[in-house]
Structure 1
Amino acid sequence: MSSPGIKPREHVDMMYISIETAIALASVLGNVLVVLAVCVNRALRNTTFSFIVSLAVADIAVGVLVIPLAIIISLGFSTQFYTCLILSCLLLIITQSSILSLLAIAIDRYLRVKIPTRYSLIVTQGRAYVAVCLCWILSFLSGLVPMIGWNNRDAIRNLSSSSEIVCEFTNVIRMDYMVYFNFFGWVVVPLTIMIILYAEIFRVIRQQLNRRAQATCDGERYYRKELKLAKSLALVVFLFLLCWLPIHIMNCIVFFSPEWGMPKFAMYTGIFMSHVNSALNPMVYAFRIKRFRLTLIQIFRRCMLCKPAQPTACPTSTPGLTEKEDVKL
Structure 2
Amino acid sequence: METLEEDELCFPQLLNTSCTKLKRSQFEAILTYIILSSISLLTTTLNLLVIISISHFKQLHTPTNVLLLSLAVSDFFVGLIMFFQIVLINGCWFLGDIMCTVYQYTAYVITSASVGTMVLISVDRYVAICDPLHYSTKVTLKRVQVCVCVCWICSVIYQSFLLKDNLEQPGKYIPCSGQCVVTGDYIAGLADLFFSFIGPVTVVVVLYMRVFVVAVSQARAMRSHVVSVTFKGTVSVTVKKSELKAALTLGVVVVIFLICLSFVICLFYFNSCLNPLIYAFFYPWFRKCLKIIITLQLLQPDSCEANIL
TM-score bracket, shorter-length normalisation: 0.7 to 0.9
Return the alpha-carbon distance in structure 1 between the equivalents of residues 105 and 187 of structure 2. Answer: 12
* Cα offsets for 1:193-216 (capped at 9, x unmatched): 111111111222222232229876
Q: Could you list the runs of 5+ residues in structure 1 that have no partner in the other structure?
A: 248-270, 314-327
Q: What RMSD over aligned residues (CA atoms) do the two structures have, in Å?
A: 3.6
Residue 178 of structure 2: aligned partner = 166
Return the alpha-carbon distance in structure 2 between the equivalents of residues 42 and 159 of structure 1. Answer: 51
Residue 113 (structure 1) shift: 1.9
Return the alpha-carbon distance in structure 2 between the equivalents of residues 62 and 28 of structure 1. Answer: 8
Correspondence list, 1:1-329, <5 A: 5=11, 10-11=24-25, 12-64=28-80, 66-73=81-88, 75-77=91-93, 81=97, 83-149=99-165, 165-169=177-181, 172-174=182-184, 176=186, 180-212=190-222, 217-219=235-237, 222-247=239-264, 271-302=265-296
Return the alpha-carbon distance in structure 2 between the equivalents of residues 77 and 230 of structure 1. Answer: 42
Return the alpha-carbon distance in structure 2 between the equivalents of residues 294 and 72 of structure 1. Answer: 37
Return the alpha-carbon distance in structure 1 between the equivalents of residues 93 and 103 of structure 2. Answer: 13
Which of the two has higher C-alpha Rg? 2
Name the aligned partner's letter for residue 26 of structure 1. Answer: L
Counterpart contact for 2:92–2:179, Cα < 8 Å: yes
Residue 68 (structure 1) shift: 1.8
> Structure 1 residues 236, 200: CA separation in 2 closer, same or farther (over 3 Å shift)?
same
Percentage of pairs with the same residue: 25
TM-score of the pair, normalised by structure 2? 0.76
Name the aligned partner's letter for residue 72 of structure 1. Answer: V
* Cα offsets for 1:64-104 (capped at 9, x unmatched): 2x212333355523566555333211111112211111111
Residue 312 (structure 1) shift: 5.4
Residue 253 of structure 1: aligned partner = none
> Structure 1 residues 219, 157: CA separation in 2 closer, same or farther (over 3 Å shift)?
closer
Residue 15 (structure 1) shift: 3.1
State the secondary structure of the residue aligned to 1:201: helix
Residue 280 (structure 1) shift: 0.3
Counterpart contact for 1:19–1:272, Cα < 8 Å: no
State the secondary structure of the residue aligned to 2:263: helix
State the secondary structure of the residue aligned to 1:219: coil
Counterpart contact for 1:27–1:279, Cα < 8 Å: yes
Return the alpha-carbon distance in structure 2 between the equivalents of residues 140 and 99 of structure 1. Answer: 13
Return the alpha-carbon distance in structure 2 between the equivalents of residues 158 and 5 of structure 1. Answer: 15
Counterpart contact for 1:202–1:227, Cα < 8 Å: no
Counterpart contact for 1:236–1:281, Cα < 8 Å: yes
* Cα offsets for 1:250-304 (capped at 9, x unmatched): xxxxxxxxxxxxxxxxxxxxx3221111100000011012232233233334469
Of stretches 127-136 and 1-10 in structure 1, the one that deviates more from structure 2 is 1-10
Return the alpha-carbon distance in structure 2 between the equivalents of residues 159 and 102 of structure 1. Answer: 35
Return the alpha-carbon distance in structure 2 between the equivalents of residues 48 and 208 of structure 1. Answer: 22
TM-score of the pair, normalised by structure 1? 0.72
Residue 146 (structure 1) shift: 3.9
Return the alpha-carbon distance in structure 1 between the equivalents of residues 196 and 190 of structure 2. Answer: 9
* Cα offsets for 1:125-170 (capped at 9, x unmatched): 111111010110121123223432389x79967968xxxx43322x
State the secondary structure of the residue aligned to 2:240: helix
Counterpart contact for 1:114–1:204, Cα < 8 Å: yes
State the secondary structure of the residue aligned to 1:118: helix
Return the alpha-carbon distance in structure 1 between the equivalents of residues 141 and 170 of structure 2. Answer: 46
Return the alpha-carbon distance in structure 2 between the equivalents of residues 168 and 150 of structure 1. Answer: 11
Q: Could you list the runs of 5+ residues in structure 2 that have no partner in the other structure?
A: 1-6, 13-19, 227-233
Counterpart contact for 1:38–1:49, Cα < 8 Å: yes
Return the alpha-carbon distance in structure 1 between the equivalents of residues 257 and 78 of structure 2. Answer: 14
How many residues align? The count is 279
State the secondary structure of the residue aligned to 1:217: coil
